[in-house]
A and B are shown apart, each in its own frame.
Chain A
């Protein structure tokens, strides 16, 4: 009995000690940051490493970087934290969440946070195309971080097997079809796979841009889903599977596509450049990366996540958040991030760092995504973005599964989108 009491006392003392240790070891400022991962590979470790380095250089700031699932989950968690009264101070979220975050009155524009000339210059140090999804109402709301374009990965071994030049990937829609047919005829693999679950509207944004038509206006209150060039783009996508038979018919799963490619089941896949480093590590064959082919022009939407700062944040926390964001998007960190993932360096300066300059010399595919920025446009983003996006996703899938014609599917999506967006005009 006595020994019990003694050991009980001991436990209490130890607990108190631990508590004391944690409370005295206090930091100046604590930041909570959610971030998403939408591609494969050990991306959480890379983010943790970058955050650790920031903490070493800024001992007065503690950063809790919290992995929050895919883009949807990250937004849900950040908004839920906001409503629960224990908000995050900053987060990486989908670049296209901007209108909804503004509507929820959740974020502040960066223009209100920068004061010095140097800071203002920093706002314009990124690739302008990457800023398109982060700017509206004349203000900057998102700073590009894990940004991508869609690129074409192709299996050079399969190209050789089919008698195609492995250093000449298809440049046009017609070539994509004719190369695909050669591959289907002479190997047991598919010619091409374009994923149509998860983010169908994103892949579709590439096809429509190649057909020289964007999907929405810059104010986010009008869509062009029933434009003839948009219909043409969906017709082409549909035909790849159903008419030319170079792609499986039905929808193609975003999540398993990379494995399909790595197993050599398809000669070409369209996917986020964020997969590049993982593909590089795991491909047991000679592969190449190329820009997407052109119809009337080349084109791809940008994609990925931006940094946002939340409104319910103290002035000191906002300052610390700015420091963190500046660090994470600095040329050196952007270069490191790009090399470890495949996402782009977000500023021209990052491609001038010695690390990234040397890397692209030994591995030129790392440049494709950046070079493609010249042909890129913003990703589909409007008011009511969740609903509008789903309208387009459903239209695409109903056409690909042969349930509706591309024209009637897109006409329906457009008239529903008009109904939703009317009150924002």
Chain B
């Protein structure tokens, strides 16, 4: 009897550390977040009390949150597509036989290893009007000075560029690994058949990269909701919320407005958005992925 159960016990023992970690740091906090979203934030004058769905109703009456959601949607689309595209391009480039291949690979990967806060401080002095790098070059070329981060129309795109610059190199590593796993016989066969390079990429390489693309796209999506470090340094969500993103707004609500219950509600909302996006991605991609 005991002997039969041994593998089970063994398996559970192996799983225990992970279960404890996941439980205490992921599931328990998510649950308490859900619970506190049904209460008001307690203060000395107004103690916390059960308010049902009031916090959720507040979301739909909150123009700043709506703006943050719209900003985040554009931020996601405009970072994911170019950075995945760039990553493939860079991976194919550094996978080919070029001189100084290691150097180029390293150069592409450097932005990834820099902390986002450091990156933001560097870019702050790129974007600064008059004395920033971009403006100094532009002014010398005869353009007028641009207030990149101080203009509602440019600020979000400025942040998007930083994110693409930072993420593309990271995704490139995955593509590079995948490219090196593609058997060379396929290429030789294609050459014998006389297919063009682009045709080969479109019909062989790209489909074989699909599992990686799914992984990368899901990661990029999560990052576009998760990565807000640069807002602290560069814009604080401004001017007038033009660069406010959901997570930054949640942070502000919790720690600047000290309204932890409403922040919890916004967090639940964000969790829902992310869950829906991941499910859709898995379903959509699953049909087009060829796993070996």
- Chain A residues with CB under 8 Å of chain B are 72, 76, 79, 100, 102-105, 190, 196-198, 248-253, 255-256, 259-260, 263, 265, 384, 386-387, 390, 393-394, 397-398, 400-401, 403, 423-424
Contact = CB atoms under 8 A, between A and B. Distances in A.
Given A72-B256, A256-B128, A265-B130, A196 B239 contact: yes
Contacts of B44: 102-105
B238 A397 contact: yes
Size range of the interface on B? 20 to 34
B238 A103 contact: no
Contacts of B131: 256, 259-260, 263, 265
Interface of B: 43-46, 64, 124-125, 128-131, 145, 147, 149-152, 233, 235-236, 238-242, 252, 255-259
**Among B128, B235, B238, which residue has the most Cβ atoms of chain A within 10 A?**
B238
A105 B43 CA distance: 8
A401 B236 contact: no
A397 to B, nearest CB: 4
Given A103-B43, A105-B44, A256-B124, A250 B236 contact: no
Contacts, number: 93
Contacts of A424: 45
Given A250-B151, A253-B149, A260-B130, A103 B45 contact: yes
Contacts of B129: 248, 260
Contacts of A198: 236
Contacts of A190: 130
A8 to B, nearest CB: 28
A386 B152 CA distance: 22
A252 B64 CA distance: 22
A196 B257 CA distance: 20
Q: Is the interface of A mostly helix, strand, loop or mixed?
A: helix
A260 B125 CA distance: 11
B41 to A, nearest CB: 10
13 contacts: A100-B258, A102-B44, A104-B43, A197-B150, A250-B239, A251-B147, A251-B150, A252-B147, A260-B130, A265-B131, A386-B252, A387-B257, A397-B238
A247 to B, nearest CB: 11
A398 B240 contact: yes
Contact of B238 (A102, A249, A393): A393
Contacts of B252: 386, 390
A252 B240 contact: no
Q: Is the interface of B mostly helix, strand, loop or mixed?
A: loop
Nearest to B146: A250
Contacts of A255: 124, 233
Given A104-B44, A256-B124, A394 B256 contact: no
A197 B240 contact: no
What are the 4 A-B residue pairs with the smallest beta carbon separation, nearest first?
A250-B150, A251-B150, A250-B147, A398-B240
Nearest to B242: A401
A393 B64 CA distance: 13
Given A250-B150, A390-B252, A197 B124 contact: no
Given A103-B43, A387-B257, A256 B125 contact: yes
B258 A251 contact: no
**Among B44, B64, B129, which residue has the most Cβ atoms of chain A within 10 A?**
B129
A70 B235 CA distance: 15
Nearest to A423: B46
A55 B151 CA distance: 49
Contacts of B152: 401, 403
B236 A397 contact: no
B62 to A, nearest CB: 11
Contacts of A397: 238-240
B276 to A, nearest CB: 29
B256 to A, nearest CB: 4
Contact of A401 (B151, B255, B256, B259): B151
B265 to A, nearest CB: 15
A244 to B, nearest CB: 17
A332 B64 CA distance: 47
A103 B48 CA distance: 13
Nearest to A200: B238
A394 B241 contact: yes
A398 B63 CA distance: 14
Contacts of A76: 255
Contacts of A249: 147
A191 to B, nearest CB: 13
A387 B254 CA distance: 11
A81 to B, nearest CB: 13
Contacts of A259: 128, 131
Contact of A197 (B46, B125, B235): B235
Contacts of A104: 43-44, 258
A196 B129 CA distance: 14
A423 B43 CA distance: 13
A15 B240 CA distance: 55
Contacts of B147: 248-252
B151 to A, nearest CB: 5
**Among A253, A256, A384, A398, which residue has the most Cβ atoms of chain B within 10 A?**
A253
Contacts of A393: 238
B270 to A, nearest CB: 20
Contacts of B150: 196-197, 248, 250-253, 401
A398 B145 CA distance: 21
Contacts of B130: 190, 248, 260, 263, 265
B31 to A, nearest CB: 19
A103 B259 CA distance: 12
A253 B128 contact: yes
